[in-house]
Structure 1
């Protein structure tokens, strides 16, 4: 009975209109049928070839998980243990470079250019050979091959910076970056506290500054200055009068001794961070710290985008900062190339057009200025409306995980922007400060490449959170890296409590530093007995397991009228102005207004 009812039901479902449709097709002219067939074929081709979104490596609604003790960890780890390295043959920065030499097949490594000239390249083998000879020369002059030997590097980004760094690693010595913006007092302090006897610097002008300190008996321990650029014989005589030996890099590279590479737990670098008050603090990082941190970055993106020997990075962010050096280490490890800008930020766009990089580490300030420049060129309401319309169409693709540079919107509106950056970018990484969601969203659409945001500080090597591939939303800094845990602790004086998912951001893992050089008091203030790094930033967990930075623990003050001021927010607004290079905002609780110090970009 049920079978018969089913048959009747099926007969009842028959659509007589389909018979009519068949008769319609039979009555159509052949040319019309051919046209419909062609349209169907085009539609089928579009469906088969339409761009598909990036497949996220984890559930984007659940990017981190709780662990015992109140912290959270990445969902991307392969085991309960935190990640310490990515490649078995690359556990120190010396081994990282050796791996790049092997993977690249001795390909091009470090490139630089003169104005209106193409890039000239040193191969991996050439860089390694020069590093071995320079390191041998340092030992010949009295440096010791161990992590108690700290060597200063005082130079702008250039190939010799990397050669000097690698020379130290080849013989287990430690690099101490020096840079102009530290200021003369801080540089003197660093040379003394780190007991630096040898400084490798780029220009004679810097050597003269260092010699002046020795002549005034302010840095009596400095005994050797090695120069990358040419210098006059008078400088040698001035050095001799002060008891400082002046040599060229080429002269020191004449020697070669047996290599003495480091172990993962050996100190690799001491990065001095400039503070608003007091002396700078020397962050001690081991080879294992740096390798663990970049392993975390690689693990997050390895199923979506991996560096390779064809990648090219433009180096313009200061090598004295760990963010730049970490990304460069990732490129070396895969046999890629590093091209250095000419040293003038105004020529960066020209350098990028010649170099055509695929990886671009940036800071939000540069992204802000890029965004402002694009919209300043859309100099009327109609142009701005069209630009926003095109960006929204591209943003709709980005929201579906589609990242490309060949859409109709790219060809009409964004190709010139992409060409100004070389036209080959695959990945942009931004960090060091918060990025405006508006700016980030627009550039993700306009630049046609994957844009990642990282958060961290020197004390956790560089980063501790990172954007998960496929999550192109803004307003957060991503999930914890697989190399560290993150927890939020109560800040009751500012009404932030971990029970509400808010509090001071604390980090624990193999990427966390060993302490501040010769400063146990500040080390104890920052590293608690359980190994948690207290960052001073206030964070909030979002429902999808990502972290949002919402405040600073200390960078806030009250004016006389009772108004609370966050100076960083004000600085981030004014720093986007083209004439402004640096800005400092100060407030006094006895005054009703703010004091500002502005340095014009024309004076740098």
Structure 2
């Protein structure tokens, strides 16, 4: 039987030395997607404002935005506003911004964690053709200062806690004239603003001004800028990625066409999405644009990721979009629990798991008996109603993908993209149960691989071509804001953008991610190391919460920094006479280090790591890698250069 192909070489593409030929999805070999047709009116959706109006029409009065009010410190049930109500509020708020002096095509800032006002502020920007510029303090104050001053923003919409940060920096932000506060403006904040001779106004007051004095909106065109989205990056000054309405709508339109071909799901007004991944980043904003296009409900988390699963239990989403870090934790907890129970419970789980895994090869993710008898309690961890799971931002282990399909009886999709393509580079297809790949190019993009001779990756490699992933298409950005040199480094004159990621085409024309160009390093004996691959494997061990793999080019072996799973370590300690120790004390115990090192060595070999990929020494720490301590980006990617600096003394000691 001939294997199904997922992508094809672009017809009449030229031979270019050092590059492979570009490929497109087999669903669009001739023409890339630019937009999509309205289900309600038949007109063409070309802007994000059109996209919102489509959601309003399709909702037919249904719910849109939900949040959990906090009363005396206790979160309540979700309170909802309809698409029609939000449309009115957005119209009024956009008019109110006009009265504050904001003109079409001018930049304004949004500085807050995810909450209803964030989304409504952005939708107002789309309606009135303002340009949104998200801010986030995890970049550091110097980066906020850089972004605000480079974009010359005069208005920043912020939550009260973030407004205090702006006020503290006021003398370094000469362009900022007005702070719009989400929620209540307390007396202390107002007094601080008055002392600085600073205009401060509540979000609801801006909305009321617009209601009292309507302003006719000047809607954007597809080529107008929708946002300048600054990349968090891992080094240097943040870069402002210029994304147009067309860039976003091309990505949304690609998903619409995939859904028409049965390769993806199209959300509807019966679906629900939980918004907790940072709206300051393009991934969650594209997710919301897709949800809006299908008039889906969007419920916001209460603002604390440690309480996310509490919110999920109340909201019961049908769509769950997250990052591998969270899915790995769920996998670890379930597998460790099964092992701890043992006996009949472990026997039933393993039998059910094996039966469903065999069914995956036939494209079946549901089983009448096992889903009810064994996997019901696991499904309840994500609210019990999840039908679609999407993972992105970093590679996810094939074992974890199979686990998610089996235990949650849900369709699973792995997406791949970057800010520079409005998150629209590739995605795996619904009927494709092969894990470890991120599908063919999105229908709005074509992709080719460029040779990396220094790493022995070439587009002529056999059996599978390898190289740096390059993308061109309707979702690709227009350049970096006021940074022509950086733009030229990434974007060629003929529209090809370099991603910095290393990829491979598999036998069926799907992309497989190998690593980042900058993350790959060579050991003293000449072996290339892809640390993210090793970390993804080791992170599945039940003892491991987080791991950082490092190798020095003058050394022949790898070392690592490991944050143990506190719960699992405590169970181990109780069995090994250390039950009286705290988590911090346990991490300092030599026996813990030697036990972990041995466990990870055996686990690595079981998972086909080569000898030079096995950690030869580790440092155990109780301190989690987090956004707050600057070891993770806001999208939870490890900042390797920061981690290397923080643990430099420990690394040196490990090599000794």
TM-score > 0.5, shorter chain as reference: yes
Normalising by structure 1, what TM-score? 0.84
Q: 2:241 matched to which residue of 1?
A: 283
Q: 2:183 matched to which residue of 1?
A: 229
Q: 2:163 matched to which residue of 1?
A: 207
Residue 265 of structure 1 and its aligned partner are, at CA, apart by: 0.6
Residue 106 of structure 1 and its aligned partner are, at CA, apart by: 2.3
Aligned pairs for 1:554-565 within 5 A = 554-558=518-522, 564-565=528-529
Distance across 1 between alignment mates of 2:47 and 2:123: 11
Residue 384 of structure 1 and its aligned partner are, at CA, apart by: 4.1
Deviating more after overlay: 439-448 vs 579-588: 579-588
**Residue pair 2:397, 2:537 contacting (<8 A) in 1 also:** no
> For the structure 1 residues 586 and 267, does the alpha-carbon distance in structure 2 shift closer, same or farther, using more than 3 Å as the test?
farther
**Residue pair 2:254, 2:443 contacting (<8 A) in 1 also:** yes
Residue 312 of structure 1 and its aligned partner are, at CA, apart by: 0.8
> For the structure 1 residues 212 and 590, does the alpha-carbon distance in structure 2 shift closer, same or farther, using more than 3 Å as the test?
farther
> For the structure 1 residues 156 and 395, does the alpha-carbon distance in structure 2 shift closer, same or farther, using more than 3 Å as the test?
same
Normalising by structure 2, what TM-score? 0.78
Residue 493 of structure 1 and its aligned partner are, at CA, apart by: 1.1
| Structure with max Cα Rg | 1
Q: 1:239 matched to which residue of 2?
A: 193
Q: 1:369 matched to which residue of 2?
A: 329
**Residue pair 1:375, 1:384 contacting (<8 A) in 2 also:** no
2:242 paired with 1:292: no
2:221 paired with 1:260: no
Aligned pairs for 1:579-594 within 5 A = 589=553
**Residue pair 1:223, 1:243 contacting (<8 A) in 2 also:** no
**Residue pair 1:93, 1:291 contacting (<8 A) in 2 also:** yes
Residue 593 of structure 1 and its aligned partner are, at CA, apart by: 7.1
Q: 1:100 matched to which residue of 2?
A: 55
Residue 350 of structure 1 and its aligned partner are, at CA, apart by: 2.0
Any idea what the Cα deviations from partners look like across 1:288-331, whole Å, max 9, x if unmatched?
Answer: 00000121122223343322121111111111111111121111
Residue 386 of structure 1 and its aligned partner are, at CA, apart by: 3.6
Q: 2:568 matched to which residue of 1?
A: none
Distance across 2 between alignment mates of 1:534 and 1:116: 45
2:107 paired with 1:150: yes
Gapped regions of structure 1 (runs ≥ 5): 1-58
Q: 1:42 matched to which residue of 2?
A: none
> For the structure 1 residues 353 and 532, does the alpha-carbon distance in structure 2 shift closer, same or farther, using more than 3 Å as the test?
same
Aligned pairs for 1:350-429 within 5 A = 350-378=310-338, 379-382=340-343, 383-404=345-366, 407-429=368-390
> For the structure 1 residues 242 and 523, does the alpha-carbon distance in structure 2 shift closer, same or farther, using more than 3 Å as the test?
same
Higher RCO structure (Cα 8 Å, ≥6 apart): 1
Q: 1:250 matched to which residue of 2?
A: 204
Q: 2:141 matched to which residue of 1?
A: 184
Residue 137 of structure 1 and its aligned partner are, at CA, apart by: 1.4
> For the structure 1 residues 603 and 135, does the alpha-carbon distance in structure 2 shift closer, same or farther, using more than 3 Å as the test?
closer
**Residue pair 1:268, 1:285 contacting (<8 A) in 2 also:** yes
Q: 1:348 matched to which residue of 2?
A: 308
2:496 to 513, 527, 532: 532
Any idea what the Cα deviations from partners look like across 1:219-240, whole Å, max 9, x if unmatched?
Answer: 2212111111223233223223
Q: 1:81 matched to which residue of 2?
A: 31
> For the structure 1 residues 335 and 322, does the alpha-carbon distance in structure 2 shift closer, same or farther, using more than 3 Å as the test?
same
**Residue pair 1:477, 1:549 contacting (<8 A) in 2 also:** yes
**Residue pair 1:322, 1:458 contacting (<8 A) in 2 also:** yes
1:462 to 423, 433, 438: 423
Any idea what the Cα deviations from partners look like across 1:531-574, whole Å, max 9, x if unmatched?
Answer: 01111111111111111111322212346676654443455456
Residue 471 of structure 1 and its aligned partner are, at CA, apart by: 0.5
Distance across 1 between alignment mates of 2:154 and 2:305: 32
Residue 602 of structure 1 and its aligned partner are, at CA, apart by: 9.2
Any idea what the Cα deviations from partners look like across 1:411-455, whole Å, max 9, x if unmatched?
Answer: 111011112222221211111100100110111111111011111
> For the structure 1 residues 75 and 210, does the alpha-carbon distance in structure 2 shift closer, same or farther, using more than 3 Å as the test?
same
Distance across 2 between alignment mates of 1:347 and 1:413: 25
Q: 2:299 matched to which residue of 1?
A: 339
Residue 469 of structure 1 and its aligned partner are, at CA, apart by: 1.9
Gapped regions of structure 2 (runs ≥ 5): 15-20, 38-42, 563-620, 629-656
> For the structure 1 residues 322 and 398, does the alpha-carbon distance in structure 2 shift closer, same or farther, using more than 3 Å as the test?
same
Q: Secondary structure at the match of 1:530?
A: coil
Q: 1:45 matched to which residue of 2?
A: none
Q: 1:12 matched to which residue of 2?
A: none
> For the structure 1 residues 578 and 274, does the alpha-carbon distance in structure 2 shift closer, same or farther, using more than 3 Å as the test?
farther
Residue 274 of structure 1 and its aligned partner are, at CA, apart by: 1.6
**Residue pair 1:165, 1:175 contacting (<8 A) in 2 also:** yes
Distance across 2 between alignment mates of 1:219 and 1:602: 28
2:282 paired with 1:318: no
> For the structure 1 residues 594 and 602, does the alpha-carbon distance in structure 2 shift closer, same or farther, using more than 3 Å as the test?
closer
2:65 to 110, 116, 121: 110
Q: Secondary structure at the match of 2:307?
A: helix
**Residue pair 2:35, 2:46 contacting (<8 A) in 1 also:** yes
**Residue pair 1:485, 1:508 contacting (<8 A) in 2 also:** yes
**Residue pair 2:255, 2:266 contacting (<8 A) in 1 also:** no
Distance across 1 between alignment mates of 2:275 and 2:26: 31
Q: 1:450 matched to which residue of 2?
A: 411
Aligned residues: 539
Residue 576 of structure 1 and its aligned partner are, at CA, apart by: 6.2
**Residue pair 1:73, 1:484 contacting (<8 A) in 2 also:** yes
Distance across 2 between alignment mates of 1:139 and 1:60: 57
> Root-mean-square deviation (CA), in Å?
2.4
Distance across 2 between alignment mates of 1:441 and 1:499: 31
Residue 135 of structure 1 and its aligned partner are, at CA, apart by: 1.3
> For the structure 1 residues 241 and 575, does the alpha-carbon distance in structure 2 shift closer, same or farther, using more than 3 Å as the test?
farther
